[in-house]
Amino acid sequence: MEASNGLRDFEETSNDDIKSFFDSSPPLKNAAEIKRKTEEFVQMNSDSGKLLKHPRRIVLVTSGGTTVPLEQRCVRYIDNFSSGHRGSTSAEYFLKAGYAVVFLYREGTYQPFCTSLPNNPLLECLQVTDKSNITARPPYEKTVKEAISNSHAATSCGTLLKLPFTTIFEYLQNLQLIASSMSSLGSRALFYLAAAVSDFYVPWESMAVHKIQSSSGPLDMRLVQVPKMLLVLRRDWAPKAFCISFKLETDKEILLKKARTALEKYNMDMVVANELLTRKEEVIVVTKGGNVVVQRDRTRVGADVEEPLIELIVEQHSAAISSAS
């Protein structure tokens, strides 16, 4: 699927490709509700003078992987790797830095404030006492209390809006909808696109309706390329926003080359380059001014790479807002 230089996915994406992707996608079921919620969220966090002293900056954090269904009544699908750890942890740091966060996440992946809880928090962290009350069980008391209060605080004061997706069709339609709701924010908008987005998909109209039968023999299926939406995001949906995309590779040799090509080709403000095996230890932030290596503080137990990463991003976003005004 890739050319030997590894740059296959930088082929031109035309407006026709983008139009035909959206035209042929199954319509988002609750599009009107998502639009209403996002517009209210943007309005509430921009309302300086009435509810807020200063309008907040708003970041869209995308998190988790998209699926590519192989059947319309889907039994089988192709998945993209991402646990959602990067996105959910980053969302927490953006909230701490005073941003309002739209968290567009793959259903079933990590959520903000829940990354340090075990896999099955309800059963592993809670217990029923003699008096039929439910309490946290040791050693989770502090973790559970913090997770609940931080998460409730963010949602109840209107600084965290969570929107789920599963398929590539849902993800890209949501992205378009949210980006157009955020376009009025100008340089106060930040796009942090950490989701792992499918590069190939089966167009809806050529997809089998029912479960593909194994009795028909080997499966021969043609996948077409998903148009790169970074192009339209930057050019049409949110031209003044600060845009950060991610580049994930397993081969170190091509990582930085591809990240820099993405920075230039899609006119991103930053590309966060990460290697699959070391992604929790180190990322390299590629910018027009050069590369910055960001590492987690190995001297501190529990320290993560997202903390210094978001610090750097907030600093650079502030500089971009100042120069825009």
Chain residues that interact with ligand PMT, rule: CB under 6 A: 82-86, 193-197, 199, 226, 228-230, 245-248, 274, 279
Residue type, 135: T
- Please, how many CA atoms are within 13 Å of residue 151, restricted to the half-sphere of its CB? 16
Toward ligand PMT, which CB reaches closer, 199 or 236?
199
Q: 110 Cβ partners below 8 Å, 6+ apart?
A: 63, 64, 83, 84, 85, 87, 88, 89
What kind and span of H or E run contains 139? none
Q: Choose between 56 and 228: whose C-beta lies nearer to ligand PMT.
A: 228
**46 vs 201 by CB, closer to ligand PMT:** 201
Could you please report the per-residue DSSP string of 222-279? Answer: --EEPP-HHHHIIIII-TTSEEEEEEEES-HHHHHHHHHHHHHHTT-SEEEEEETTTT
* Dihedral sign of CA atoms 143, 146, 149, 155 in order: negative
Helix (H, G, I), strand (E, B) or coil at 295: strand
Provide the Cα torsion 10, 16, 17, 20; round to 10°: 170
Q: Which is nearer to ligand PMT, 45 or 167 (CB)?
A: 167
Residue 62 backbone phi and psi in degrees, to 5: -100, 145
Residue among 90 and 316 whose Cβ is closer to ligand PMT = 90
* Structure letter (DSSP) for residue 21: H
To ligand PMT, the closest distance from the beta carbon of 40 in angstroms equals: 25
Q: Among 113, 112, 95, which residue's Cα sits nearest to residue 56?
A: 95
3-state helix vs strand vs coil in the chain, percent to 5: 40, 20, 40
**How many CA atoms does the CB half-sphere of 289 hold within 13 Å?**
3
Q: What angle do CA 33, 167, 74 make, to 5 degrees?
A: 110
In whole angstroms, the minimum distance from the beta carbon of 50 to ligand PMT comes to: 34
Nearer to ligand PMT, 199 or 281 (CB): 199
CB-wise, 172 or 314, nearer to ligand PMT?
172
Which residue lies nearer to ligand PMT by CB, 56 or 229? Answer: 229
